[in-house]
Amino acid sequence: MESKVNETRPELSIPSFPLGSKLIPLIGLGTAEFPFGASNDTLKHTIIEAIRLGYRHFDTAAIYQTEQPLGEAVADALRLGLIESRDELFITSKLWCSDAHRDRVVPALQKTLENLKLEYLDLFLFHWPLSLKPGTYEFPFKEEDIFPTDLNSVWEGMEECQTLGLTKSIGVSNLSCKKLQTILSTAKIPPAVNQVEMNPMWQQKKLRDFCKDKGILVQAYSPLGGRGTVWGSDRLVDSNVLKEIAQAKGKSPAQVCLRWIHEQGVCIIVKSFNKERMKQNLKIFDWELSDDDLHKISQLPQSKGYAAEHFLSDNGPYRSVQEFWDGEI
């Protein structure tokens, strides 16, 4: 059933999905901006504005350097009465690779909570399937800082975070079907989420089908093709197919992209700090794409935006893009 836009309480228009003991709003605001930390002076105000507009789901990560301004915005929103309780928000953060070691996972989450000034996360994600030299927090990182990676022992640390009540749910990011299967083979608590790059020009059907079969919610980052990132492009919003669909619907190509992702049963992480675009990104829940629209979108050329070239090394564990993604791109 589709939501009707509620102009007075826009947050009520956003569909949600049960994730553990909480509902996850199916659209969230991402806070990554490269170079990391570049927008921190204005980010707190952007997040407060997003809460006013109806956003209740926010996505950060240790490496983004945005945990602290997000935490300050949450405190201000409570003080201003924009929300009555922290429980109204869904907050995600991520474990950086230098903490992807069994004994460093819990302390890393404790540090994240300290940055956010929160008692718990709603979702904690294992950011990339790679371990780096402990104590290094930089991206791009040095090739000599790459360590052997033990996905299963890192996942044990993630499970401990949930058992301790530091996070409501745990998940992964940037994992292929094969790597997900590796974690599932020993997991006591399976990943609740896999956050990956996904949009109409990188549709990820095989991965989505695998996750659906395993009960894992897919989250899409770079839903508009990573515009504004080092590797992103405007190929989606410049697509004639998407422009034609948008024009016929009285929508923007960006809204068509987001609506398509929503119709695939996927949670969307948008990232715009522009008030008008933040508002437009929420206006995707009270209309539908036709079967003809969906067919046209299914025929779009496919290519991954960010292939994780920075994560490769001649010394391993990943020597090629195909090895990193297990031949799934």
Per-residue pLDDT tens over the stretch 138-171 = 898 999 999 989 999 999 999 999 999 999 999 9
Instruction: Please state, in angstroms and rounded to a whole number, the distance separating the CA atoms of residues 77 and 68.
Output: 14
Residue 210: both structure tokens together: 């695998």
Determine the pLDDT at residue 233. 81
Of 223, 313, 316, 300, the closest CA to residue 30 belongs to 223
Judge contact between 221 and 269, C-beta under 8 A: yes
Determine the pLDDT at residue 6. 56
Lowest average pLDDT, out of 124-128, 198-202, 229-233, goes to 229-233
Residues contacting 92, CB < 8 A, separation 6+: 28, 57, 58, 59, 60, 121, 122, 123, 124, 125
Determine the pLDDT at residue 217. 98
- pTM here is 0.95
Tell whether the model's pLDDT for residue 134 goes beyond 90: yes
Determine the pLDDT at residue 2. 44
H or E segment and range at residue 105:
helix 105-116
Of 55, 64, 120, 221, catalytic:
64
Tell whether the model's pLDDT for residue 7 goes beyond 60: no
Lowest average pLDDT, out of 49-58, 227-236, 271-280, goes to 227-236
Answer positive or negative: Cα dihedral of 123, 127, 131, 136: negative
Q: Give 188's pLDDT tier (boundaries 50, 70, 90).
A: very high
pLDDT (average), residues 48-55: 96
Determine the pLDDT at residue 3. 46
158 or 9, which is more confident: 158
CB 37: neighbour CB atoms within 10 A? 15
Residues contacting 120, CB < 8 A, separation 6+: 113, 165, 166, 167, 168
55 is catalytic: no
Instruction: Please state, in angstroms and rounded to a whole number, the distance separating the CA atoms of residues 249 and 148.
Output: 50
Average pLDDT, the chain: 93
Instruction: Please state, in angstroms and rounded to a whole number, the distance separating the CA atoms of residues 327 and 324.
Output: 8
Judge contact between 229 and 34, C-beta under 8 A: yes
Instruction: Please state, in angstroms and rounded to a whole number, the distance separating the CA atoms of residues 48 and 70.
Output: 9
Q: Give 329's pLDDT tier (boundaries 50, 70, 90).
A: confident
Judge contact between 183 and 175, C-beta under 8 A: yes
Residues contacting 110, CB < 8 A, separation 6+: 166
Per the DSSP assignment, residues forming a β-bridge with 193 are 217
Q: Give 226's pLDDT tier (boundaries 50, 70, 90).
A: confident
Determine the pLDDT at residue 234. 87
**169 backbone φψ class: left, alpha, beta (φ>0; ψ -120 to 50):** beta
**124 backbone φψ class: left, alpha, beta (φ>0; ψ -120 to 50):** beta
Of 66, 74, 24, 77, the closest CA to residue 195 belongs to 24
Per the DSSP assignment, residues forming a β-bridge with 171 are 125
Instruction: Please state, in angstroms and rounded to a whole number, the distance separating the CA atoms of residues 95 and 112.
Output: 9
Tell whether the model's pLDDT for residue 18 goes beyond 90: yes
Instruction: Please state, in angstroms and rounded to a whole number, the distance separating the CA atoms of residues 225 and 14.
Output: 22
Q: What is the pLDDT of residues 235-275, one digit of tens each?
A: 898 999 999 999 999 999 999 999 999 999 999 999 989 99
Dihedral Cα 279, 281, 284, 290, nearest 10 deg: 140
Determine the pLDDT at residue 33. 81
Determine the pLDDT at residue 230. 65
Q: Give 39's pLDDT tier (boundaries 50, 70, 90).
A: low
Judge contact between 73 and 51, C-beta under 8 A: yes
Q: What is the pLDDT of residues 56-82, one digit of tens each?
A: 999 999 999 999 999 999 999 999 999
Residues contacting 93, CB < 8 A, separation 6+: 59, 60, 61, 62, 67, 109, 112, 116, 121, 123, 124, 125
